[in-house]
């Protein structure tokens, strides 16, 4: 074993479209979602740990505050699955350098789990295919396989059955971050409350959105952005409506609460519009921070070894 550690870079995501079906008898919702990986990354370092230490998890970076460092963390769970499944005898030390918001609807925890799976495959020379890596990721949550795949894709079922989407061009995003997260289960529960008594159709892909991606048409994509959880997120966090209004006022092509929120993603036309909106959001007093990112980008991949 010549390598003692690897560093895996994993992207955050935005949901360009999220269609949520009714609550099933098993307590889950059937989903159809269109993911896009964007250039806001966590770096996951996986290395051999000292004998007898088990799984050690540490975190640093601008969004690391409040990240659990115990067995409740998806990155820890990913390491545990890999150790058990492949009967690995070495202990592992994992460090998360975080830039993706926590509990922000951008799959930061899932991205870290994806990084651990890819990192342990590389470190222990398991030789797994991308499909095999994604199947392991699906056991941890619907967003983990996409963290491995990257690009632009449709997720079906619980979001974990991935199909790549034919997408042309690149897209510029301005992301309004919140100073505190939203719990995904609470957003789904609020969605169910708001829909109570209504007839909810099975989820489906947005044809206008897929056509816009195929054509590389940012203006049409902006019009087609949709999220069935947005009303629930805004109900729990009314200030999100003010954030969305700022984006519309400053000419965003489209705006959407990402996933379960509270991050709000604005699709913009060019660098000048991105800068104008960044300044407006930063001075509005209604956001915790603002970052810019491009998409689509790659999934989890090794950037260095040591």
Q: Which token pair is 187?
A: 């957003």
Show Cβ contacts of residue 286 under 8 Å, excluding neighbours closer than 6 positions: 239, 242, 243, 246
**In 3-state terms, what secondary structure has residue 259?**
coil
By DSSP bridging, strand 55-60 and strand 92-97 are parallel
What DSSP string describes 36-74?
A: EEEEEEEEEEEEEPPTT--EEEEEESTT-TT---STTSH
Q: If you count DSSP H runs as helices and E runs as strands, how many of each does the chain have, helices first?
A: 10, 12
What is the maximum span of the chain, computed from C-alpha positions, in angstroms?
61
Give yes or no for a contact between 49 and 56, defined as CB atoms under 8 angstroms apart.
yes
Nearest to 268 by CA among 287, 284, 281, 283: 281
Annotated catalytic residues are 13, 143
Bridge partners of residue 32, in order along the sequence = 19, 156
Give yes or no for a contact between 22 and 62, defined as CB atoms under 8 angstroms apart.
no
């Amino acid at each position: 074993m010549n390598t003692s550690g690897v560093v895996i870079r994993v992207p955050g995501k935005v949901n360009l479209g999220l269609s949520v079906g009714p609550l099933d008898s098993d307590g889950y919702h059937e989903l159809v979602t269109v993911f896009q990986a964007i250039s806001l990354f966590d770096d996951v370092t996986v290395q051999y740990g000292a004998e007898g230490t088990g799984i050690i998890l540490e975190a640093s970076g601008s969004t690391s505050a409040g990240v659990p460092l115990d067995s409740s963390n998806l990155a820890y769970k990913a390491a545990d699955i890999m150790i058990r499944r492949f009967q690995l005898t070495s202990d592992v030390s994992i460090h998360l350098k975080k830039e993706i918001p926590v509990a922000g609807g951008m799959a930061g925890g899932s991205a870290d789990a994806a990084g651990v799976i890819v990192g342990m495959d590389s470190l222990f020379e398991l030789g797994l295919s991308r499909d095999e890596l994604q199947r392991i990721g699906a056991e941890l949550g619907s967003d983990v396989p996409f963290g491995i795949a990257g690009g632009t894709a449709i997720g079906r079922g619980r979001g974990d059955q991935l199909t790549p989407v034919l997408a042309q061009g690149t897209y510029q995003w301005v992301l309004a971050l919140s100073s505190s997260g939203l719990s995904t289960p609470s957003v789904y529960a609020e969605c169910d409350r708001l829909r109570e008594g209504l007839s909810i159709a099975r989820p489906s892909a947005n044809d206008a959105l897929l056509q816009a991606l195929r054509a590389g048409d940012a203006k049409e994509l902006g019009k087609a952005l949709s999220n069935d959880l947005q009303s629930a997120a805004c109900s729990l966090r009314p200030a999100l409506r003010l954030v969305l209004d700022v984006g519309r006022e400053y000419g965003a092509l489209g705006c959407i609460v990402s996933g379960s929120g509270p991050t709000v993603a604005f699709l913009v036309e060019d660098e000048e519009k991105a800068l104008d909106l960044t300044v407006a959001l930063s001075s509005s007093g209604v956001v915790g921070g603002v970052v810019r990112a491009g998409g689509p980008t790659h999934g989890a991949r090794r950037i260095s070894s040591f």
